Amino acid sequence: MTADDEYKSQFLYEPIEGVERLENYQPGGYHPIQLGDHLQSRYRVIHKLGHGTYSTTWLARDEQHNRYVAVKICTADSNPKEVEIVNTLTRPHCPADNDFSGKTMLPSILDTFSIHGPNGEHACYVTSPARASLSDLKDGSWVRLFQINVARALAAQLVLAVDYVHARGFIHGDLHMGNVLLKTPPSFDQLSPEQLYEKYGAPELDPVIHLDGKPLPPGVPSHGIAPIWLGEPSEKITLPEARILLTDFGEAFSSKEAKSESHTPLVSRPPETRFEPNKPLSFSSDIWSLACTIWNIIAQRPLFEGFLATEDYMTREHVDTLGILPPEWWNRWNARPENFTEDGRPTKRNPYRSWGDRFEDSVQLPRQEVGMPLFDAEERGAIFAMLRPMFAFRPEHRSTTKQILESEWMVKWALPEYEKIRKGD
């Protein structure tokens, strides 16, 4: 097989940058959408917001209520449980729910319907649109940092949102910055589609080209569309703009279910998924990923670094940062002798980067270099004191969301910044 044949066996269509994998427009996969489509004779498709493995999300104008909405169109073979979970979490419950401000940080489902198309039956649901994910805001920045007051407020809201999800008996299962979005401002609905295009850019249509020169099947769109960018560089986000939505409940599950497989990205996946693969995940598995996400919010780079990393590489990062694994994990880790001595000293490589080193070179130095305020010694100590028990190797030793909310950093620094946003409503 030639390199060209191999390429064609992997790709049926010319890939388009920023666009979902076009091969997934097949029976069971994505539903083809065109700009201007009228869904339910009500939602006019204006632009694309994004895509995931199991859905594409579109910006539409709700012509009944004269506002913008996000319409998520699931693949025909996707599990409908996400809609059920979000509905369960956001529908009115008992008055005690009013004690959880985190409920306001979840996307309320405004409407649900289904579309029958060439690739099957697709569940669709409508929510308020969001500007961009926190990871997209960092990707749109050279600095890759949030202002210090914004970072505190984002972290506080994320803990409040997870606290509410856990209180309702669910584990999110996929916490990372790509699933934390910024809400659109109230003025957003007042833009006409023309003004929206003028401000953020009109959609660019790239023709979908079959590598064999064949005509496109009926289930494949004629054009690919890259998502609209409603964000701005992370350092430019102001405190009043720093209002989050915790999204993507496709991996979420009830604490009554026995689920042991994690699809969280490797850099924020809890270690028990590797060393105790048959043990059901629990609230504490979210806590590890939550700690990784909080670090990402305050730092320029992840705590555990590993672009395209292996499991062994990530375990090495964990030990470098946090110390020796529990004895039964340590003894079972086959690659341990290549990386560490029995007592945890690195072998055949430079001294490891400790927890403190990582704070200096990922948080403080990058802030200093661009003239941003630094975390002082007292706040740094409070951040460490909050995060360290969240990173306990044994899941049962990790903090709960309630304990995190009572930590010194949350009480003295993070929650007060969120209060300023709330009082501005």
Known binding-site positions for ATP: 72
3-state helix, strand, coil in the chain (%, to 5): 40, 15, 40
Alpha-carbon distance of 271 to 266, in angstroms, equals 9
Q: Tokens in use for 409?
A: 């950093």
Q: Which residue is it, tokens 């880790």?
A: 333
Strand partners, 123: 114
Taking a C-beta distance cutoff of 8 angstroms, is the pair 246, 225 a contact? no
Alpha-carbon distance of 416 to 9, in angstroms, equals 55
Binding-site residues sit at 72
Taking a C-beta distance cutoff of 8 angstroms, is the pair 229, 132 a contact? yes
Question: Cα 416–142–417 angle (5° rounding)?
Answer: 5
DSSP 278-342: TSPP-HHHHHHHHHHHHHHHHSSS-SS--TT--HHHHHHHHHHHH-PPPHHHHHH-TTHHHHB-T
Q: Tokens in use for 75?
A: 């693949």
Q: Which residue is it, tokens 């929510």?
A: 127
Strand partners, 13: 210
Alpha-carbon distance of 23 to 26, in angstroms, equals 7
* Residue 69: partners with Cβ closer than 8 Å, 6 or more residues away: 43, 59, 60, 61, 62, 110, 111, 126, 127, 128, 129
Taking a C-beta distance cutoff of 8 angstroms, is the pair 287, 269 a contact? no
CA separation (Å) from 246 to 68, 129, 169, 300, 311? 19, 12, 16, 21, 27
Q: Which residue is it, tokens 């004191």?
A: 385
Alpha-carbon distance of 18 to 401, in angstroms, equals 35
Q: Tokens in use for 315?
A: 């375990």
State which H helix or E strand residue 47 sits in. Answer: strand 43-52
